[in-house]
Amino acid sequence: MGVAQACAGGGLFVLGLALLGLVMAGPALAVDIIAHRDVSQAVLSVASARAIFGMRHVKWPDGTPIKVFVLADQHPTHGSLCKERLNLFPYQLRQSWDRLVYSGIAQAPGEVSSEEEMLSRVASTPGAIGYVRKAKTHDQVKILRIE
């Protein structure tokens, strides 16, 4: 095999690896926003979702208190929620919560330790909202559409 052939082969190999990487990375991680089954809304605007997860919007249109549950800032699903659904970075949400809490004008969200706990807390708390990586149709929660 000549040097030129070896180089071409090497180039193709690298290209192949890159393509394989792309295929394996797949599409962006999807995250579903979930709510308690009695929540009347089925669709949320991005602005409303930001206001709710930003703790500035505290009741549903029917007057039920909104109870927000979040995962830890470092949790990958929390990162997906912020970046894919709210168009924010987790640190921006954290800064906003800290500012509101320490200036006394809002409360912090409830923090859960796992997606399983998220599902069970949202399913059992009236007015609750949260998110999971992939909600299954048989989960005891409602999936909210974001538009």
Partner 1 sequence: MIRSRFSASSRWCLPLLCWALSATSATAQELGDGLQLHGFLSQAVVRSSDNNVGGDSASKVAWDMREMGVNMSWRPNPDWLVSGQALARWAGDADDGDLRLDYGFIDYTFLTYGDDRAGLRCAWARSRTLSASITLPAT
Interface residues with partner 1 (CB under 8 A)? Answer: 47-48, 51, 56-59, 63, 65-66, 72, 94, 98, 101-102, 104-108, 110-111
In angstroms, what is the minimal distance from the CB of 109 to partner 1?
A: 9
In angstroms, what is the minimal distance from the CB of 13 to partner 1?
A: 45
Six token digits for residue 112: 């859960």
Nearer to partner 1, 65 or 76 (CB): 65
Least Cα distance to 114 among 122, 105, 126 occurs for 122
Nearer to partner 1, 29 or 106 (CB): 106
Distance CA 74, CA 79 (A): 7
In angstroms, what is the minimal distance from the CB of 21 to partner 1?
A: 35
Nearer to partner 1, 21 or 63 (CB): 63
In angstroms, what is the minimal distance from the CB of 103 to partner 1?
A: 8
